[in-house]
Amino acid sequence: MGERLLRLGLEALPPGDNGAMKVLILTVGGTREPLEVALAEHAPQGVVFLASQQSHPVAAELLRDYGEGFRHHTLLLEDAESLLEAYQKALLALRKALEWEAKAIVADLTGGTKPMAAGLVLALTGRGVVFSYVGGEKRDPETGRVLSGHERLRLLEDPTARFGLREWAGFTRAWNALNLGMALAELESLLSRPLAPSEARFYGALKGVVQGLMEWDRFRHREAWERLSVHLPVALAVAEAWGHGGKVRVLQGLEGLLPHLQAMVGAGEKPTFTLLQDLLANAERRAELGRFDDALARLYRALELAVEADVQERLGFA
């Protein structure tokens, strides 16, 4: 242990103010040995301690013995068993690391209470942070703590990275905001990852659905129909097989609009009230996105189309 910490002191001297650094966010409990292991193994240039009122003396001891080797900042929790406060303090720790222009951020969840560790993980998953934990197989039979000298540091995979949760969250935000271009980009990011066959099938079909909606938004109804009629049933079938009710409801809602789209394709270039309804819906979407000039232009066209559709309906020509 002493040799590793000596190496830490030599290798982790803080860089100049303009230098990027590796920052370790460290939850602090009542035992300092595993925290020393984390400091030695990660050799950080900056450390943010998350400590409780009870464990603050341990953080102070570490700073007394090794604090000259790294930049440091301590955040105190009033209630070490509050998940909410742990979450909030972890976000503040991340903010401090970013203020230091960290090029790599590691969050070690070994020390502290279980709510402190849980709050750290909840706050920092999906943010490009690497997690670590100091464990070991040889433990004190009475306390359950790892025996001194037998600690082993493990890097923990962020599950949101494995399952693409960050990209899916980005897709749903873009979808709900009617930003189809961004939704398509998030799907392409998902499709670039290793996927199970059913995932690849679903996200591939959903990409075709989004592309079809983009064509529909451009009033290219035939192209939209060609994409949606092929990809929408596939996406819906997979969502139903997964039992994902939210996905099923959204896709079934789109399925209910296909007869409307098919009618416009069948009408060709003829002005119809179905096309008028579609134009008004398009204008409403443009207004919701704040593109008021586009919305107004479509409303002007809707006035013309209303007359043309009326003449077509009553007289058979436009």
* Chain segment 123-173, per-residue pLDDT in tens: 998 888 999 988 766 555 555 555 565 568 888 878 777 677 778 888 998
Provide the whole-model pTM: 0.56
| Same domain as 58, residue 121 | yes
Q: To the nearest whole percent, how much of the chain has pLDDT over 70?
A: 71
314 has pLDDT over 60: no
Q: What share of the chain is helix, strand, coil (3-state, %, to 5)?
A: 60, 15, 25
| Same domain as 189, residue 59 | no
Angle at the Cα of 131 from the Cα atoms of 151 and 71, rounded to 5 degrees: 85
Look up residue 127 and give its DSSP letter: T
Domain of 302?
165-315
pLDDT in tens, 40-71: 889 999 999 999 999 999 999 999 988 888 99
Question: Can you tell me the distance from the alpha carbon of 109 to that of 299, in angstroms, rounded to the nearest whole number?
Answer: 57
| Same domain as 154, residue 23 | yes
| Same domain as 279, residue 177 | yes
Last residue of a domain, one of 107, 136, 161: 161
| Same domain as 172, residue 31 | no
| Structural domains counted in the chain | 2
Asked if 135 contacts 108 with a C-beta cutoff of 8 angstroms, the reply is no
| Same domain as 176, residue 155 | no
| Tokens encoding 107 | 């969050």
Helical pair 56-66 and 2-11, crossing angle rounded to 10 deg: 70
